[in-house]
Structure formats: structure tokens, C-alpha cells
Structure 1
């Protein structure tokens, strides 16, 4: 029977070793990390969402803005998505597989992509009903009655500032809108323009525009291309002229979305004389209910917002912080001689978000609490005199969400209506937020969210705030306190976090590295808890109805990167949600393997979501990528290597590894030119189009075969299958060195040495794989050359990957250079976002993706310890910028936990705790020591690896 939670032995060992680790690490739960160095703090409230501070319990996440007159707590629940249970595979797609492969073998990439796009991609939601419905809707929007309705409503138009560069969804009144909207504006034609044709530049419009000047249509365009229309001189007149634009938006971002300089009108051929059209326009929403748009994947959705409205006051001494040592956020300030304090946290044991308000003068707390949401389908109602409920549904989907906000007060008066809760002159106030959906699993949506909210509120009814807080902190710290890092401290540690970001690259601030690393662990603990789904592209934090990339699970690196820090940074138990999604994908991936490849086993392509789709999505030039499931299996094997949990391997990891391997045993084909086994069709993620035999695929498949063979041996099963893998392993197309001395990204030697693409996919064999290493110097040299060609810039997660790659190559100073880029300001100086970090230390792709936070934290561990080879290497990539330090609780493969310190770049002392009794080999520079260990015992050595 396959286990759905960690094995009982794993849980037992986890409990057993928490106490042991506490003693080994010398950590005291009540005092560890109490210093301000483990706080993010600011002197002002958040202005943007990426200024706000995140809290989370693995399921319920919040973003704390900390406003004084109005505080906003934007919240999410990790099962609230669009869509619903459905089949994603395209039945019978495998019939076109031979033809696609043949076209690729003949060098006809465009033809192969065209055929694959038509016949091989997965299915979309509403795919078979949308076309007819959209034709009817467009005809209705373009009918004479509809246009007349616009004219009739022209006297009731509202104001909007255009363009809306991020789409109109972030504009009040447009939240969640898809549909038909009219925009209108007047402009003056100077006398000097008389008799001239004019060019009307609208920039990009999503999705279709019908544009009129003085009631005459001047153009219409579909898609997101830039619009430039010629207005004939005869249709213009001196003085005021009117532009009217009907925009039909079917899905995602809507409206005029270019930057302001694109929105203008000017005499044909003379842009220097342009009149800007950016700024205030009038608008009228004609219809907000177009047919549901076909989509390959569902989108993660924001749930709602808590707004706390306070009386106006002059304030002083404002501080906003997030204490990651105990997972609590705070706001403090002084107003009218009273000091006010707010504390926020999201509790995993009690499954509530708490907001606690205090003042140092009785009767001073008065506020109004409201629940709001961006969703069109939303309403609130009073449950009792202390409780307000919010009900929400996404525009396209089967899920419904319910949230309860309950007030507990000491002193004062509380009055609830269907719209808000008013608290007057209280001494102390606590608000408890619960939220749930009807989601049970990817094929069952029969849950009762209202009953869940009631039950969770009832469970805390008799508990004090102090008890709930203490339970929350104890639960959090049992994970957080398993690891500590001290790299030294400078005066920069006393600065607010936003100021530290600005100074980091030019001013020594080693404790900021500690803060960033521990913040990555904090985000991991807050977004990945057993019993919940895995951390998605944004963890559990998202404020947009149309989030970047759907805020889903991108499986060509991003989901995997989210879990890179789990094992080395002593958070192994929190990988359970990752294992859970692999359990699901191994099931749904069987249907995709059958219908797309006519193969046994299971397969996953480059994206999935709450409903566990595994088929190719988006476009054939990057969506057909076969090795997503195989890469997930690498993480399963890593968990076994770090924990040595044989029950986990037997009951959970190996069955899924074997299924993924069975797919490739069947699906690898012989390359007609070289005779090697290759994957076809596939892709080097998001780069170079549809191809046969990308290098990354073969690195991952070899890794899968090797690990499956080792697992079968450890479990003493499947000898014949293991022999098959061993034989095929040798036949897979090997890594190749190209004409420029580079590691080839593809089967052919066609790498462009000026290419700086964000994906460095062929580096998988360096990290997280290990087939290119210090023992393969020629390949390592070629990989180094490829990294040099690719360059040091990139998106946030790409930079984080490069930190780990350079560390694996034992080039600590280059890894450090990448790390400084990772911590560079993303949204200041030029005003244009770039890869780095936002004010709240969220990673910027841009926009926000959490994988860079997790990849960056893993990169620090990779600088300090590497255990992927024949032993445990200490300080293999220590940068000169971190000459002194002390780390406790760093984990290594084989079931070992390490404490060690270094001074002036030299190892001082190391202590090894053996959790499994395995043999241990320590390596430091040219020194090596072999240890026969016993379970639960620790061993101490000096910098020369002499036993102490």
C-alpha cells in the first residue's frame, strides 16, 4: 500500500531527533535568534504588494501592509484556483508521434511544430464549446443595438487613467473583468495640422479593438500587436476631435497595456510633433460576461482582503517588522500620546490567521473591520455579532470559498452588520480569520467550506490569544530552530531592510546573507506543510486574478527549485507536499503517457496545476518537454540519500521512479544519424523550439536510470528491470563538447556563443545533477565555458540557479558574484524592474516568483557543504567575502548533520551527528577522514580533521 504521508518510521525518527538535534545544535527554543538580525523591518507602511510582509501556515497566507489609517491584510488559501476536475490529455495524440519525429529528423522544425500544435498538445477547458459561443458574443457586442447602448450611456461615463500597463485588472472597477469596454477621449487638432493625415498610436491593446475618430472607424486589430492607424485629414476638424475605442477582451489582461509614450497622435511621419493621449479617459463597461475562455491550465487565485480602518491621527515612531525567528509580524506607532501595537501570524496548529491589537492606554482601540475580494461573484454576511463571513467564487471554476472573520475584544463595544464589524473603545482586540474551499483532492470537490470555517473558529473559542500564539511559535520553531548561521555582523545590520538592499553590493553586510538564507527557510516553512499542497510559483501568496504564469506549478525548474533547500537546510519533513503532488502526477501522467506516446509508465511536461494536468500545454515550441516527471523523481531520490529512509524509498519513491523510468524505456528512440538513444520530440526548456535529443533530457534520464538501478539494488527487487536500465544507460546520447569548447545544449553543435537565455538547461548535469563534476575535468571545463558565454545576468530564479552551478564547480567567488546580483534591488534606481529582490526580499523574476528565494538559500548551503560525491566536502566554494562563520544543523547525504566554524577562510572545527549509523567520509581540501558511525552519536574534529 502506497503511503500518503511520511512513513511511521520517518515520523518517529523525526520526533526522536528533534530533541537530539536541539542538544546537538545547542539551541534554546525560548532564546534562539531573538536578535534583530532575524527581522525584516521598515520605517513606513507598505505601498506596493511587494513591500508587504508575508505570513503563512502552509495553507493560509497573508500579506501585511501595516497602514495606519487603513491596514490591509491580503490573504490566500492554497486550494483556491480556477478550473475544475477534467482530463488534460488529447486522446489519440500518439498517432501523430511518428510523423513529428520524422519531420524533426529531416530538419523540418517549423513543420513539426505546426503539426504538434494541431494534433499533439493537451486539451483546454471549454475547448469544444468556446468557438460557437464567442462568435455569437462578438456579433452581439458589435451589433447596432450594442453600439447605440454605448452612445446612450456616454453621459454616465467614468474616469480612468490610460494606459494601464499591467492590464485593467489592477484598476478599481475592473477587477477580474473580461468583456467589452468602450474608452473615449477628445483631443485638439492645432491649426498647423490642417489638411494633414494623422497617425493614431495606441500601443498594445488586448485583445481586439475597434477604433473610431469622430464616429468613423479608422481601424481594427486582433492580438497584442502595436496599433497605429491613419486618420484621413478629411475626417478631422480644427479644435476638438473624439476618439472612441471598443475593446473586446476575452481572457487575461485587458485594455491598452503599452507604456504611456506609445499613446499619442501626430501628423503622419512627424512624431516630434506628437500630442500625448495618456492620462484621463472616460469609459463604459458594455458587457462583462464573455464566454469562458479555453485554457490549458488553471490559475491560482487571491481569496480576499481584510481591511482595518482606524480614526485619523498624527503618528510618530512608526515601525513595521517581520520576526522570522518566531513567525510573527508587527506594527507599532504612537498617536495622540498612545502607543499602538499590532501583531500578526498564521497558525498551523489552529489553522487561523490572527491579528492582535493592543494599546498602552485603556479604551483606545476603535476600528472598523471589513472583508473584501476582487472576484465579481462575492458577498459578505453577518454570522453573529462578532463574526463576518465572505463568500467568493472565481469567474471560471467549480470552487467556492468561505472565510470567517471573528472578533474577540476586551472592553469596548462590538457591532456586526452584513458589511462590517465595528469595534469601539476597546482595551484589546483580536481578529481570527479562517478560510476554506470545497476542494478535497484533484478529482473531488465535495467539501463544505462553511463547515470547515465554523469548526476552526469553534476549536479556538475557549483558547486565549497567548495560548494560540505560544502554540504557533512552538510549532514553527520546531522546524526553524534546526539550523543556524552566523557569518558576522557589521553596522549595516542596524539599517531598515529596504536600505540594506540598496547598500548590499557595495557595503559588507554578512548578517544580511544570514537573514536572506533564514528568510528562505521561513518562506518554506510558511508555504509547505504536510497535509497541504506544495509551494507554487508564488508560494501561497498572490494578489492578482490573472497572476504571472497562472502562479501554478512550472515543472521545467521552478517547482523543483522550490524544494532545493529542504534537505540541506534541515527542513526535510516539509517536503511531504512535494511528495504528495508527485503521487498525484504519477497517476494522471499514466493517461498522458498512453494517449500521447502509447507508452507505459507516466510522464509530465512543463506545467501542472491544482487539477494535476500532465499533458503538453501552451505551445509546441516549448510545451512538449518529456522529462518533468523524471526531474521530480530526482528529488525523491535526494530525500532518500539525505534521510536513508528505506520505508520511504520502498513505499513511495521507488514505485514512482520506476514508473517514470518505464516510460523512457519504451519512449527513447534511436537517432538515425548517430545511433544513440534520444528523446524525441522534446525541448531544451523554453529555448530553441521543438527538437530531438536535447542535452538536458539525456542528463535527467541517465540520472533517473542510475537512481532507479541503485534503488532496486537497495530494495533487492527488479533485477531484470535494473539490468535493462543499465544497458540502455550506456546507449543514451552523451554530453558533447562543441566547436567553441562549450557543452552543447543540443544534439547538434549549434550553440550561439552570444546567447544569454535565462534557462541554462544543459547545466543540469552540474546542478542539481552530478554527472559533470570535479572528476570529469574536460566536461567541467566545457560547462564553465558555456556558463561564461551565457553571462551573469538573468531573471531572479535564473541567477539563483547560477549561484548553485558556480558553487558546484567550486568557484566560490563567482557564486558570490551571482549572489550579490540576486540580492540587488529589483525595482529602484532606473524605475524598471529587473532580476533581484523587492523591498520585502521576495525574489523578482520579475515579477515575483518565490523560486529565486529558495534557490538562493540552497546556494548558500552549496557554498558551505557538498555531499553529492564520494564524501562530505567542507567549504568547497567558500567565497572570500565570507571569511568567518559558524553554521549549525546543515545536512549532508548519508543521514548526517553538521556543525562547523571557520576563521579567515580556514576550517576551525567540525562536529558530525550521525542519524543513521552510516559510514562517513569527511573531506576538507587535501585532507580526508573516514568514520564508522553509530546512530545518534556525534564526532568532533579540528581543522586538520584530527579527532577531538
Structure 2
């Protein structure tokens, strides 16, 4: 097939001010990971772009197996003390086996996210074609396919509308009367009915059984078409379009799901109403509405790393040859692709993106495509605040509120404790028992990590109304952990036992342990943030409670360095320097937390760096995304870029470990969307950091990015930052202050600007408060390699007023 010319690219991308970031290919998708994703956070489609028989693989966000339920194991309350005693005796494998037998959930290990099915559209005579081209436009949130057959040029446009909740396929041709096709829907679900209703085709069904639980999600998909010229006929579940000048297929899917404990909705009526409303408008009208909603979010951040040197090469070619070229524009595209995916999967009022966003073609996807809460769900939202998509946190915040309710039952039944617990997994039904076997599931601190997102949102926005609403959730997560903490046998420290360091096995052939570093880091953050929030909100009635949290903090293990200079992953010096495990859980304190800092805790930073070096660079896709963030926090942009290069390694089959599929989906493998989000956040962290008491401009800029600009990144404190740089030095920065207050800036070059003063003392802006009392124990200090010398930097303060824009420039 002919490779598309740049003229074809420009012609295909005509909406708005032109397409500057796209994925394009010169052949149809042969596999699911070559198809292109569209989504409106409810409806998702993978578009294959095949001329003869188009395939759209379809998902609706609430089609899951099962029904409302929870899964705490009542045996846990009796057996957890016994498991703990085995841990104290060093019988870790026995403790783990007992927990698997008597603590883990028995009735339901989490339900899988499942596909709706497929829309197939067959076109007679399109088997032989030339001038083939397809693209995903990140600038307009649409897929386009063009080709030529029998002297006629055909074009297809696909959107998942953010305004009308329909998927649309718009078909045009260079000659009138040439649009003839048949459309039908299929499903891998077992209990389905396919029929015609008037000029519509309808597929309805019910989700399946899983692990002994009957599926009760009822769903209905319906589709029809509007045409110019020609005719539309529906018969026996097939939609026929004959001799039209142009045609648009409208498709919607609805379910009976209302919320995690209510499935009383009417999918039939909802789908009928949604489709009828959409049909009142033409494709062009809906496309424009969709485009305007999308661009309002997408356009907030623009990144320019230089001229696109390889625009004439397909996206999969660019990924395959990334290590051979200085292809900064592909990094730009990958960054914006992550933001595109978040916009497509996390609109307010919808469900959070699963392990695969809203795209899944399997009835039993890997790990059920659930919400894995020991990193993956959290990683999905790492770009939200930094890349100016703050409102897209809403589905996550709703999930947190849901599990804070269902988690009360699990806390009471399993631990005999107040507050709420979340283990390492949940699903549409917000189950909170300990899922899977103990080596991965015996981890009670998921609520602490999710609560961190509530606090971060407050730091970015300064919204005290939000904090007041989030405070009870954070407080009750802390209450649970406060109650289940125990002292170790020699009565020296408070800790969680039993628990684990996700999902890594220690030298005693188990994961089950006590006082693991990540738990201590999570508790440090949660307890301190609850204490701070109670002060900010004037909760004097909570003083006795916050005093008890402080008592626990004072008695916890410090962060420790081990025998080979590493940051210890466990309370004991067990770390294996040859361990290449994908999880680097103990480095949570470096990112996404801010307990470890090159400026405040240099020895711990050096130990974290040693751990990261020994863990290695190549790994699963999401792990490499996390490492981009970690190397950014270590202020090493060249190493962060090396990890981006490792992540942008082409994967065409499931045997390759880690990388990127031809459609830019992250490859664990299989596909996991968190790797896309993690790397997008990491690229943002290379350009702007605000966790360490100041806004750091270009903190980890790699040598290769000599010149560029970025606009619209968000910093804590409610600041929006835009920058230009040349010769690897910032030349201009603009900072808009949403809230007012002191703005503290760190830069590698001296700056000038109105009102700029040399910084002295602590930053008086409370939204930049750094962690207090990061306790540390430096064992074997002679083994800790020194960090590379920090660059000379300049620190400034400027008092801002709400709505003010500050302009800074490099001082001559």
C-alpha cells in the first residue's frame, strides 16, 4: 500500500488550526494494539480502519461481571493475630499461607471489566485499495481513515462524542451515491439478543457469571444512520446503507448501573432517549461541540521540544527507531497522548479509568482490568494536577468516597476496627476485602495512598471547601490504621503487621512481613496531612485524635539505609542488590511523596538513587513510567530521558517485556494504561516541580532538549507556569497566580522580574509546606555513594495577588 504523503496528512487534518500531534499509519490495524482508541469516558472504541470490513471494538464503562456485593472474610479477625505471631517468630512463609487460607476474600476476588462487543461495517468493492492512510488526531480527538478504491476517494471520521454520548462514524466519498455498506453488532457475551427495531439495530444482554457470582449488569447498544441521498434499511439485526452521498452511523450503549449498590436503571429507555437526542443534530454539529469541549481541556498545556523532523514517517516506525534518532516530537506526542487518554477516560460523573482505561476486548482480561490500588490506580492520576486537568480527578474522588463507605464493613469484619480499609484491589462494586492470595493481597494501606490524592488536590488548588469535604475520608482512613498498628515484640516501634511491600518477595520466600518501609511512608503522609488539615479547618474537637496520630508518628521506624548503601525496603536489611522487581515501593517517599529530597535529605536521596540504579532501567511499561518520575525527582534529566527511550521501545508481541505498542499504548505487557499516564507525569516533572517548598523551573531538563517551550503546567499553590528555554537555560517564564500568596521560584540561572527578591527563611505560603520530622537512620554511611553535585541554583520570592500574572526573564 502507498505511504501517505505530507499533503495527505495536511488534508486529513483540517479541523481547527491544524493537527500538530497525531498518530498515523499507512496500513490498517492487524491487531488490537494497532487499532486507535477513541472515548468519551463512557463509551470507548478501538478503530481498526480496515477498508473492506471496518471493525470498532466497543466498551461501555459500567459493563462488568457480577453485581453489588462486598467481600470481607469474617475469619480474618480470628486469624490475623495468629498470622502476626508467626511473623514475630520469623515464620514468614507459614504466616503467608495462613493468611491466604483464612484472611483473604473467599466469595469474590473482584469482578472483571468486560467488553460490549463489536460494530462491523462491510463495504463491497473495498478489498482493493490504494493511497491508504489513517490517523488519531490528538488535537481534535478523532480518528480518520482515507483510501482510494475504483477511482473513488473515501474518507471515514470517528468520534466518541463528549457532548452527546454517542460514537459516530461519518462516511464520505469523492463521487455521489458511492456509500453502500452493511453494519451489524456482535458480542462475546453469552446472554445477548440481536434484532432490528425500525431503522435501528439493537444488541442487548446481561453480563456473565464470574467466580460464582451471577452477572446482573443489563446493557443495550443501538445504532442507526443518517444519510444524504440513498436509503437506510434495518433487517434481522443488519443496518443497510445504500447508494448514499454521505452517511453517519450513530451508536450508543447504556446499562442499568446507577452506582455501586444500585442497578435499577433502565438500559433500554436510556439508550432509546440518548440515540433520539443525538439524531437531532448532524455529524458536523456534534463534531464541533465535541471538539470545543475537548479543546477546552486539551489546549491548556502545550509542549514544544523542537521541529518535527520525522513527520513523514509512520508512528510505529518512529517508536521502532526512537533510540536511533533525536525524535523530540515523538516525546511531545507521547506526553499529549497521555493527556488525551485521561480526557477520554475520566470525565466528571463517570467511572475512573481501569487498568486499561475504557478499552478492553477480553471477557477475562489480565488482572480483570480492575482497579489495582498498590500503584496502578494512583498512577493513572499522576498527570491530572500537573498537566492542568484537575477536574478529571472527580471520578477518582468519587471512588475514594465509595470505598470509604464499603471499607467500613471490611475494617469492622476483618480487623474489628473503626474507620475504613482498602486492600490492593477494588472494582465497579467497590469491594474492599483482601483480594487474591496473600503474596499480593495482604496489604491494608490502600486507603492511605488514595487519601494522598485528596491532599494533593488541596495543595494544588488551595480549595478549603474541598478539604473540608475530604477531611472525614482522610480522618477515617487514619483512624483505621491508628487502631491496627501494633508495637513490635521488643516494644520499640509502632508498625503495621502483617503487611507486605507490593508485590516483592523478601529472602524468606514470602512477601508477608512487618513494618515495611512503604507502609511507614504512607502512614507518615496520611497522619501528618490529617493533623495539618485539622488545624487548617479549625477542628479543635479532634485534638485528642490527632495527638494519638502524632504519638504513633513519634514511635515509628525511621527511613533506614542498608548494608550496600540502599534505602531499605523492609525494616530489616533484606534487600538483594540483584533484585530487578518491577515494584519500587519503598521509593514512594521520593515520588509521588516528597519525604526524600536532594535539598533536605541528601543521604536518603543518595540511598534512594542507589536502590534505583540496582533495580535497573528496563522493566514492565508502567514500572519504567514510574522510574521516569523518580529520576526526575533525582534531578537527572538525562537518565529520565533514557527511561523514556526504554519505554518507547516497540512491542509487537506479548513476549517482549515492557515498552510501547504501535498505537502508543503502554506494554506491561499486556496493555496497561498506567504506564502511559506515569510517563506523561514524568515528562511534566522534568519540566516543573513544586513539591519541595518552591516552584522549580526546568529541574531535570535533559541535554538533548536544548530549546523549547511549555505552557500551562500547574504548580502547587495555584500557580500556572509557562516557560521558554534556549541552550538548555530558561530565558522567559510567566506565572499566573490563581490564589495569590508567596511564590518561591528556584532556577538554574539568575532571574529578573518586577517584585522579585532573594528568598530568605521558610516559604510562608502554607501550600508549600514540606514534610516535618522525616526520621532517618543512616546505617553504614561509608557505603552511601554521594549524589552528583547539585547545580548552582537561585532562589527567589515574589508576593502575588489573586489573578496576577508574573513575568520573569533570565538576568543578563
Q: What TM-score do you get using the length of structure 2 for normalisation?
A: 0.90
Q: Is 1:306 paired with 2:115? A: no
1:439-478 correspondence to structure 2 within 5 Å: 439-478=257-296
User: Partner of 1:102 in structure 2?
Assistant: 85
Deviation at 1:36, TM superposition (A): 4.2
Give the alignment's Cα RMSD to 1 decimal.
1.4
Match of 2:717 among 873, 876, 894: 894
Q: Is the 8 A contact 1:32 1:481 kept in 2?
A: no
Deviation at 1:458, TM superposition (A): 1.5
1:240-279 correspondence to structure 2 within 5 Å: none
User: Partner of 2:562 in structure 1?
Assistant: 738
Deviation at 1:326, TM superposition (A): 1.1
1:275-424 correspondence to structure 2 within 5 Å: 296-313=109-126, 314-384=128-198, 386-396=199-209, 397-424=215-242
Match of 2:347 among 507, 510, 529: 529
1:500-539 correspondence to structure 2 within 5 Å: 500-539=318-357
Match of 2:798 among 931, 937, 942: 931
Farther off after superposition, 777-786 or 458-467: 458-467
User: Partner of 1:26 in structure 2?
Assistant: none
Number of equivalent positions: 742
Deviation at 1:622, TM superposition (A): 1.9
User: Partner of 1:141 in structure 2?
Assistant: none
User: Partner of 1:869 in structure 2?
Assistant: 692
User: Partner of 1:180 in structure 2?
Assistant: none
CA displacement, residues 440-493 of structure 1 (integer Å, 9 cap, x when unaligned): 111111110011101101212321221111111011111111110000024223
1:78-157 correspondence to structure 2 within 5 Å: 78-125=61-108
Unaligned stretches of 5+ residues in structure 1: 1-29, 126-295
User: Partner of 1:281 in structure 2?
Assistant: none
CA separation of 1:884/1:32 partners in 2, compared to 1, >3 Å: closer, same or farther? Answer: farther
Instruction: Give, in whole Å, the separation in 1 of the partners of 2:442 and 2:15.
Output: 48
SS in 1 for 2:98: helix
SS in 1 for 2:156: strand
Unaligned stretches of 5+ residues in structure 2: 1-12, 210-214, 506-510, 749-792
Instruction: Give, in whole Å, the separation in 1 of the partners of 2:168 and 2:657.
Output: 34
CA displacement, residues 47-98 of structure 1 (integer Å, 9 cap, x when unaligned): 0000000000011000000001000001100000001111211125212221
Deviation at 1:310, TM superposition (A): 0.5
Instruction: Give, in whole Å, the separation in 2 of the partners of 1:726 and 1:114.
Output: 34
SS in 1 for 2:803: coil
CA separation of 1:920/1:893 partners in 2, compared to 1, >3 Å: closer, same or farther? Answer: same
CA separation of 1:639/1:570 partners in 2, compared to 1, >3 Å: closer, same or farther? Answer: same
Instruction: Give, in whole Å, the separation in 1 of the partners of 2:395 and 2:270.
Output: 21
Q: Is 1:819 paired with 2:641? A: no
Q: Is the 8 A contact 1:490 1:508 kept in 2?
A: no
Task: Identify, as 1 or 2, the structure richer in strand.
Answer: 1
SS in 1 for 2:382: coil
Instruction: Give, in whole Å, the separation in 2 of the partners of 1:754 and 1:33.
Output: 52
Deviation at 1:908, TM superposition (A): 0.7
Instruction: Give, in whole Å, the separation in 1 of the partners of 2:810 and 2:16.
Output: 27
User: Partner of 1:655 in structure 2?
Assistant: 472
Q: Is 1:806 paired with 2:631? A: yes
User: Partner of 1:634 in structure 2?
Assistant: 452
Instruction: Give, in whole Å, the separation in 2 of the partners of 1:635 and 1:505.
Output: 35
User: Partner of 1:786 in structure 2?
Assistant: 611
Deviation at 1:720, TM superposition (A): 3.1
CA displacement, residues 127-159 of structure 1 (integer Å, 9 cap, x when unaligned): xxxxxxxxxxxxxxxxxxxxxxxxxxxxxxxxx
Instruction: Give, in whole Å, the separation in 2 of the partners of 1:428 and 1:35.
Output: 24
Match of 1:881 among 699, 704, 708: 704
CA separation of 1:31/1:668 partners in 2, compared to 1, >3 Å: closer, same or farther? Answer: farther
Deviation at 1:31, TM superposition (A): 9.9
Instruction: Give, in whole Å, the separation in 1 of the partners of 2:303 and 2:491.
Output: 50
Q: Is the 8 A contact 2:628 2:640 kept in 1?
A: yes
User: Partner of 1:610 in structure 2?
Assistant: 428
SS in 2 for 1:567: helix
User: Partner of 1:684 in structure 2?
Assistant: 501
Instruction: Give, in whole Å, the separation in 2 of the partners of 1:623 and 1:337.
Output: 60
Deviation at 1:918, TM superposition (A): 2.3
Q: Is 1:675 paired with 2:492? A: yes
SS in 2 for 1:491: coil
Deviation at 1:724, TM superposition (A): 2.4
CA separation of 1:322/1:744 partners in 2, compared to 1, >3 Å: closer, same or farther? Answer: same
Q: What TM-score do you get using the length of structure 1 for normalisation?
A: 0.77
Instruction: Give, in whole Å, the separation in 1 of the partners of 2:14 and 2:117.
Output: 35
Q: Is the 8 A contact 2:224 2:239 kept in 1?
A: no
Match of 1:854 among 677, 683, 703: 677
User: Partner of 2:302 in structure 1?
Assistant: 484
Instruction: Give, in whole Å, the separation in 2 of the partners of 1:851 and 1:33.
Output: 30
User: Partner of 1:576 in structure 2?
Assistant: 394
Deviation at 1:674, TM superposition (A): 6.3
Deviation at 1:32, TM superposition (A): 9.9
Q: Is 1:769 paired with 2:593? A: yes
User: Partner of 2:22 in structure 1?
Assistant: 39
Deviation at 1:511, TM superposition (A): 0.9
Deviation at 1:37, TM superposition (A): 3.5
Instruction: Give, in whole Å, the separation in 1 of the partners of 2:612 and 2:645.
Output: 17
1:191-206 correspondence to structure 2 within 5 Å: none
User: Partner of 1:260 in structure 2?
Assistant: none
Q: Is the 8 A contact 1:493 1:500 kept in 2?
A: no
Deviation at 1:337, TM superposition (A): 1.3
User: Partner of 1:837 in structure 2?
Assistant: 660
Match of 2:578 among 754, 761, 765: 754
Q: Is the 8 A contact 1:713 1:719 kept in 2?
A: no
Instruction: Give, in whole Å, the separation in 2 of the partners of 1:791 and 1:428.
Output: 54
User: Partner of 1:178 in structure 2?
Assistant: none
Deviation at 1:304, TM superposition (A): 1.2
SS in 2 for 1:99: helix
Q: Is the 8 A contact 1:333 1:339 kept in 2?
A: yes
User: Partner of 2:522 in structure 1?
Assistant: 700
Q: Is the 8 A contact 1:61 1:541 kept in 2?
A: yes
1:550-589 correspondence to structure 2 within 5 Å: 550-589=368-407
Q: Is 1:722 paired with 2:546? A: yes
Larger Rg belongs to: 1
CA displacement, residues 827-849 of structure 1 (integer Å, 9 cap, x when unaligned): 27xx8322111000000000000
Instruction: Give, in whole Å, the separation in 2 of the partners of 1:930 and 1:576.
Output: 33
User: Partner of 1:216 in structure 2?
Assistant: none
1:41-80 correspondence to structure 2 within 5 Å: 41-80=24-63
Deviation at 1:772, TM superposition (A): 1.1
SS in 1 for 2:385: coil
Deviation at 1:729, TM superposition (A): 1.2
CA displacement, residues 859-917 of structure 1 (integer Å, 9 cap, x when unaligned): 00100111001110111111112111100000000000001111111011100000111
Deviation at 1:123, TM superposition (A): 3.0
Instruction: Give, in whole Å, the separation in 2 of the partners of 1:505 and 1:36.
Output: 25
Q: Is the 8 A contact 2:20 2:139 kept in 1?
A: no
Q: Is the 8 A contact 1:489 1:511 kept in 2?
A: yes
Instruction: Give, in whole Å, the separation in 1 of the partners of 2:16 and 2:158.
Output: 19
Instruction: Give, in whole Å, the separation in 1 of the partners of 2:439 and 2:612.
Output: 24
Instruction: Give, in whole Å, the separation in 1 of the partners of 2:334 and 2:280.
Output: 38
CA displacement, residues 498-539 of structure 1 (integer Å, 9 cap, x when unaligned): 111111111011111110000000000000011111011000
Farther off after superposition, 496-505 or 567-576: 496-505
Q: Is the 8 A contact 2:165 2:252 kept in 1?
A: yes
Instruction: Give, in whole Å, the separation in 1 of the partners of 2:741 and 2:349.
Output: 31
SS in 1 for 2:724: strand
Instruction: Give, in whole Å, the separation in 2 of the partners of 1:854 and 1:589.
Output: 27
Instruction: Give, in whole Å, the separation in 1 of the partners of 2:549 and 2:17.
Output: 52
